[in-house]
Every structure is written in C-alpha cells, then in structure tokens.
C-alpha cells in the first residue's frame, strides 16, 4: 500500500488501448521512476497522448495493468486519482477568474474559502503571476494562461503531474524560458513530471529520460544522450536529432558491418582536398540556421545532411565538394538490414 | 520545374492590376468593396424598416391603447390618458388570470429545462454524424406539423377514453391518476380538462425551443473543460454544478425566454386542453373580441412584456450572459 523508494511512479504492464481496429497503444511496458522528469516523444498519432490520458484516467486500457505508485488504477475515475494534468490548450474555466480557476481543485475537495484562496495565491506566486487572481482567463496572454494552468494543477500537490504539449502554443522565446522554468520547478518540487511532446529538442533539453513512441509502441527509452547518440532503430535516429540514416551497404563499406547505421550531421567535415578517404558529393541545398549552416549532400544515390559551423567557408548550391568523417562516428543500430 | 511549367501553360496576365470588369455590376462591386458600410446599410434597411415601423410601431400603439379606458355605459373608448385600466388588472378576477398564467409559464419552463437537458447534453456531447442528423430531425419534426393538430392529438391522448387512461388501467395504476385528478388546482374530471393536461401539452409544444438553444450552448463548452474539472477532483455532480450548468446557462436562459413567453401569450392550448379558467392569452382574445374592451386587452398584453423585462433583468444580474 505505502510506496517505498523503489516503487515506480507509473507502471504500465502490457497495456493496450484499442479504438475499434486502431491500436492507439499496443502491449506497452513502461516504468516511470518517482521524482523524474519523463518525456514521451513521438509524431502525432504515435500513442503518446493516449498514454497520458491512460495515466490521467480519461481512457481505460483495453488490456493490461496500470499502477500509480504501486496502486492499481484501472477502473478508477480521474477524480479519484491524485494526478493532475496541464492540458494542451490549458482548459481554463472561462466563467471563473484566475484565482477561482486555481482554487477549483481545492474547492471541490471541500477546503474552506479563506484557506483555498490563500493556497491559490501562493501557487500563482510560484508560477510568477502574483496579483493576477482577479482577471478572467480571456484577458491573459497564451504564456500567462499556461502558467495559470500549471498553478491550477500544482496547487493540488499531485503525485504525478501530466503535461500534454504544454509549450506547443507558445512562441519560441517564451517556450525557451518556460522550458527552463518547468525544469527548475520540477527539481524544486520533486514531483514526477510526465511530459508529452512532438518536439525532440524540447524532450532532449528538459527530460531526465525520454521514451520515443511510434505506432502505439515505445521504440526506445533512455537518457537524452542515449537517445540522441545511440538510437536503436532507423525511426529513432530519423525522428530524434535529424541524424543521417545510413543503409547497410554504405555502413559495410565504411564500418565493416552490414547493419543500419546513423551519422550525426555535425560529424561530417567538408574538405577541399580530394584525398583517398574523402567522398565526392554535390551540394543540393544550403539552409542557414544561425549557429550553423545545414548542407544537403548528394552522394552515391544518398542524401546526407552536414552541419557546418558559422564562420567557416560554406560552399554554394551545385558545388562539387568532398567530405570525410571519423569512422567511429558511425553508430550501428540494432535494427537488422 | 513543375511550378514553372504550370505557369507557362497558362496565359500570363499582362499587368499587375487587372482592368475593371466593366458594366453596372462591375462598378457596383468595386463601390461596395470600397464602401462596405454602404452595402450594410442597403441590406439592413428593409428589415429595419419592417421591424421599426410595423412591429415596434404596433407595439407602441398597443401600449398607448392600454392607457385609454372604456366608457362602461356606451362601450366607447375614452381616449383620455388614465391608469384606470391597469387598476382593473388588479381586480381579483383579472389578477387571478395573471397569477395562474405566470405560475403555469414558470412550471412549464422548469419542466422543459429538466426534460431538455439530458437530450441536449447527449446531442452536444455524444451524437455524431447520422445520429446528430437524427436528433435534429426528431426535435424539429414536431415543428413541421400543425400546432392545432398536435394539441388536438394531446386532447385525445389525455381524454378519459384516451390511451393514457387505458395504459394506466392495464398497469393497474388508475388509482394514481384518480388520486392526482382529485387534487385541487391541478385536478379535474379527466386529464384533458385539467390544469395538468394544459401543462403537459405546453411542455410538449415548447420543448424544441428549449432543446435547441441549450444544445447550442452545450456544444460551445469544450469537452476538455469537463475533463479538466474531473482531473481536478470534481465528481460528475460537482462538474455539472460548477462547470456545465454555469456554461450552459446562456442557452438555458435563451430557451426559457421562449418557453416562458410563449406560454404567457398562448391562448389556444388552454382553450382546447384544460379547465374553463382563463389564461392571459384567452383574456386578451375575449376582451378585444366579444367584450370589445380594447384598453383592457392591451393592458393584459402588456403584462407578459413587463414580466419578460424583469425576467431578463434578473437573468443578467444572475450573470447568465457573462459567459457569452
């Protein structure tokens, strides 16, 4: 009953959620440790949001068992789970002011007015919106609404906080600020955060561990470094970090093993000299990204992306170039050819 | 490449600005585009004239009539400003009619809200595609048939020899009906000549006017607000009280304006189904017809307008329109 140190915050065992013939989540095993910042990363329709809704209790599994801090959660309605959600479009109540929105969870639990409004004020201060209580959600900017949604969830002191693409609707600058803030908030509060996103940069920069989803299954779980540097499958290499996926023939020539491989764009060096180990290529695209310039290189019927740091000479589109890379930089994937 | 080939196959326009279309219509289109307000005025003028002159005008004429009085000996209208006709409304016989009508309208509205909410909620939350079409059809279909036919149908259903009595007899529940009919105010010889019968027929004929605005209001409540409420620990009952009901309130008020005001003004349903006691609509009808007392009829007709005014004012103070 009482969870010890090792009990996972959320545990999925053979969990499936089918909608008719569509297998949104299929035979999924997953353990999320208590106090960790966990990201679920994947393209839309990969089952990551369904997983979140299974934890929140909005969906019931078709098969399998879900435990939250060791307690079985199947058949338990959302209002009996000590789990709170920050919704994608915030879902603030339009007829209540900000303070009443934040105090809502305490109000329905029967906590007295003075006490719950005080707690709501504190939660608003925590998300750096002190004094905004009297406003209506409609009078707030997107970033402010996001903070109110966060305060409304955190004021209940949940065991697990679920965040469904919480930064999706914010512009870039705000998103970067919010990423850092969420991270430090999570560290300070020690609450388990489960975070759904389709943005690999966001997942890698914020999470302690990342699960990459595709077609209702988890392709790989690991630290951001593992996911980025040692993808197990072509899908993960492709989806996380824009790695070059190398076909088995190519890998055999340069790494000696007939396996699928991946090569990060920054591992490719453009050279002028046409030495024996240099590979000839033609530049088919140049994209300026600020800190670096991304080149598309056509070689041997393959398109590879290379990242050239700013400040170095950049070839133009159509130029014939040669490139090299350290043979050790090729990462061999588990996936069979 | 492909984009170039697409543009190449078409005749490329010669200049950046195309020549005027020419003709009256072309010139008019350009004018409307430059002066959008002109088009707006042109479109709104006829309906505004109609509403302003014919509708508001006759309402004002009615209001004016209610301040005249009737000469009791000659039966002629005395066109002198007086509040005597309004004082007549407060006579017990007339005041009873007002109290009876307002009570009926309030009860019909409450019953309509109770019956309409589950239907509207289902239609807004769960019905999709074909089921939604079926819902609209089922709600609207009664509106397509004649109002009189429906009321007479109810008279037959509610009659002593009708299907309802027969059904209750089969279920051995006639004692329940007899007990109800023996009660004062709501009872009578049979349902079709009782206030209960009037109530049932009213709820039936006005129900679509409650369901449709309610459904429209519930449709605008995002589904994730219900989920958010549940997520924050609210039981379904708490979610209904704290989220669904407040957000559906504008629709409920809109629907109740229909059911309330339509009941206040109706004179056909109580005439066909119910007791011989009059409702406001019937009083207006008989005062301006057989009795020829136009001022009193006008004063009666003003009563629902005033009541609706107070009703809307109260609804606004309650915050019914805040979520709009």
Task: State the nearest Cα–Cα gap between A139 and chain B, in angstroms.
Answer: 13
Q: Does domain A10-238 have CATH number 3.40.50.11820?
A: no
Residues of A in contact with B231 (CB under 8 A): 56-58, 78-79, 83-85
Q: Which fold has domain A243-332?
A: OB fold (Dihydrolipoamide Acetyltransferase, E2P) (2.40.50)
Residues 6+ apart with CB under 8 A from A26: A16, A18, A47, A215, A216, A217
Cα A95 from Cα A91, distance rounded (Å) = 12
For residue A287, report the phi and psi dihedrals to the nearest 5 degrees: -120, 125
Cα A334 from Cα A194, distance rounded (Å) = 27
Partner residue opposite B247 with nearest CB, options A95, A109, A152: A95
Say if residues A259 and A251 touch (Cβ distance below 8 Å). Answer: yes
Q: What kind of architecture, by CATH, is found in domain B84-317? A: Orthogonal Bundle (1.10)
Say if residues B79 and B86 touch (Cβ distance below 8 Å). Answer: no
Across the interface, do B229 and A58 touch by the CB < 8 Å criterion?
Answer: no
Say if residues A326 and A250 touch (Cβ distance below 8 Å). Answer: no
Per-residue model confidence (pLDDT) at position B1: 46
Per-residue model confidence (pLDDT) at position B4: 52
Per-residue model confidence (pLDDT) at position B3: 53
- All CATH 2.40.50.140 domain ranges of chain A, comma separated, are 243-332
Which pLDDT tens digits describe chain B residue by residue (324 residues)?
455 555 555 666 678 888 887 788 888 888 888 998 998 999 999 999 998 888 899 889 888 989 988 887 887 888 888 888 899 899 999 999 999 999 999 999 999 999 999 999 999 988 888 999 999 999 988 888 888 999 999 999 999 999 999 999 999 998 999 999 999 888 888 899 999 999 999 999 999 999 999 999 999 888 899 999 999 999 999 999 999 998 888 889 989 989 999 999 899 999 999 998 999 999 998 888 877 888 999 999 999 999 999 988 988 887 666 655
Chain B residue at shortest CA distance from A104: B232
Partner residue opposite A91 with nearest CB, options B227, B238, B247: B227
CA distances from A172 to A167, A175, A176, A201, A291 (A): 9, 5, 6, 12, 16
Across the interface, do B227 and A87 touch by the CB < 8 Å criterion?
Answer: yes
Q: If you ran DSSP here, which 8-state letter would residue A257 be given? A: S
For the residues A176-191, what does the mean pLDDT come to?
A: 90
Per-residue model confidence (pLDDT) at position B260: 92
| pLDDT bracket for residue A3 (50, 70, 90) | very low
pLDDT tens per residue across span A118-157: 999 999 999 888 889 999 999 998 889 999 999 999 999 9
Q: If you ran DSSP here, which 8-state letter would residue A64 be given? A: E
ipTM for the whole complex: 0.84
B→A contacts (Cβ < 8 Å), by residue, are: 222, 224-225, 227-235, 238, 242-243, 246-247, 322-323
* Residue A319, pLDDT above cutoff 90: no
Please report, for chain B, the start and end positions of each structural domain, with discontinuous segments joined by +.
21-66, 84-317
Chain A residue at shortest CA distance from B319: A95
For the residues A237-252, what does the mean pLDDT come to?
A: 84
Across the interface, do B231 and A93 touch by the CB < 8 Å criterion?
Answer: no
For A205-225, give one letter per residue: b (16+ CB within 10 A) or e: ebbbbbbbbbebbbbbbbebe
Per-residue model confidence (pLDDT) at position B189: 87
- All CATH 3.40.50.300 domain ranges of chain A, comma separated, are 10-238
For chain A, give the number of residues: 337
CB pairs under 8 A between A and B: 63
Instruction: Tell me the whole-structure pTM to 2 decimals.
Output: 0.80
């Amino acid at each position: 009953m009482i969870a010890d140190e090792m009990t996972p915050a959320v545990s999925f065992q053979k969990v499936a959620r089918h909608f008719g013939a569509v297998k949104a989540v299929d035979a999924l095993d997953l353990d999320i440790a208590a106090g960790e910042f966990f990201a679920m990363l994947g393209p839309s329709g990969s089952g990551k949001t369904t997983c979140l809704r299974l934890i929140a209790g909005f969906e019931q599994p078709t098969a399998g068992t879900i435990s939250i801090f060791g307690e079985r959660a199947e058949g338990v309605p959302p209002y009996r789970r000590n789990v709170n959600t920050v919704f994608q479009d915030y879902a603030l109540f339009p007829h209540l002011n900000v303070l009443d929105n934040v105090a809502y969870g305490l109000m329905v639990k029967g906590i007295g007015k003075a006490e719950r409004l005080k707690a709501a004020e504190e939660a608003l201060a925590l998300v750096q919106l002190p004094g905004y209580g009297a406003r209506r959600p409609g009078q707030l900017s997107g970033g402010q609404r996001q903070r109110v949604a966060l305060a409304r969830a955190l004021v209940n002191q949940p065991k697990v906080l679920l965040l469904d693409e919480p930064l999706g609707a914010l512009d870039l600058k705000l998103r970067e600020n919010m990423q850092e803030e969420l991270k430090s908030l999570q560290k300070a509060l020690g609450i388990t955060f489960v975070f759904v996103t389709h943005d690999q940069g966001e997942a890698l920069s914020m999470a302690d561990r990342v699960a990459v989803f595709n077609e209702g299954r988890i392709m790989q779980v690991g630290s951001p470094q593992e996911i980025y540097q040692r993808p197990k499958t072509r899908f993960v290499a492709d989806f996380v970090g824009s790695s070059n996926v190398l076909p088995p023939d190519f890998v055999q020539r340069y790494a000696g093993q007939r396996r699928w491989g991946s090569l990060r764009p920054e591992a490719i060096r453009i050279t002028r000299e046409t030495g024996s180990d240099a590979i000839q290529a033609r530049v088919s695209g140049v994209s300026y990204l600020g800190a670096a310039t991304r080149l598309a290189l056509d070689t041997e019927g393959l398109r590879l992306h290379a990242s050239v740091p700013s400040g170095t000479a950049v070839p133009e589109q159509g130029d014939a170039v040669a490139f090299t890379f350290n043979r050790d930089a090729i990462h061999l994937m588990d996936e069979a050819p | 490449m492909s984009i170039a080939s697409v543009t190449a196959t078409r005749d490329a326009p010669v200049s950046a600005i195309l020549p005027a279309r020419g003709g009256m219509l072309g010139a008019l289109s350009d004018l409307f585009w430059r002066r959008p307000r002109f088009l707006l005025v042109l479109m709104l003028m006829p309906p505004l004239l109609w509403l302003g002159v014919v509708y508001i005008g006759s309402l004002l004429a009615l209001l004016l009539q209610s301040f005249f009085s009737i000469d009791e000996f000659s039966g002629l209208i005395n066109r002198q400003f007086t509040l005597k006709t309004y004082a007549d409304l407060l006579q017990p016989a007339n005041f009873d009619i007002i109290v009876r009508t307002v009570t009926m309208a309030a009860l019909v509205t409450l019953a309509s809200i109770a019956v309409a909410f589950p239907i509207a909620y289902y239609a807004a939350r769960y019905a999709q595609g074909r089921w939604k079409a079926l819902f609209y059809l089922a709600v609207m279909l009664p509106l397509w048939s004649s109002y009189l036919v429906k009321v007479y149908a109810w008279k037959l259903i509610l009659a002593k020899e009708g299907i309802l009595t027969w059904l209750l007899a089969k279920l051995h529940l006639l004692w329940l009906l007899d007990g109800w009919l023996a009660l004062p105010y709501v009872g009578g010889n049979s349902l079709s000549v009782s206030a209960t019968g009037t109530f049932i027929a009213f709820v039936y004929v006005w129900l679509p006017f409650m369901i449709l605005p309610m459904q429209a209001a519930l449709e605008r409540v995002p589904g994730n607000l219900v989920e958010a409420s549940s997520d924050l620990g609210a039981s379904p009952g708490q979610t209904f009280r704290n989220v669904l009901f407040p957000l559906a309130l504008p629709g409920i008020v809109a629907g109740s304006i229909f059911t309330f005001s339509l009941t206040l003004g109706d004179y056909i349903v109580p005439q066909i189904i119910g007791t011989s006691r009059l409702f406001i609509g019937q009083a207006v009808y008989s005062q301006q017809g057989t009795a020829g007392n136009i001022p009193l009829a006008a004063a009666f007709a003003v009563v629902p307008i005033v009541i609706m005014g107070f009703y809307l004012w109260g609804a606004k103070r309650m915050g019914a329109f805040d979520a709009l």
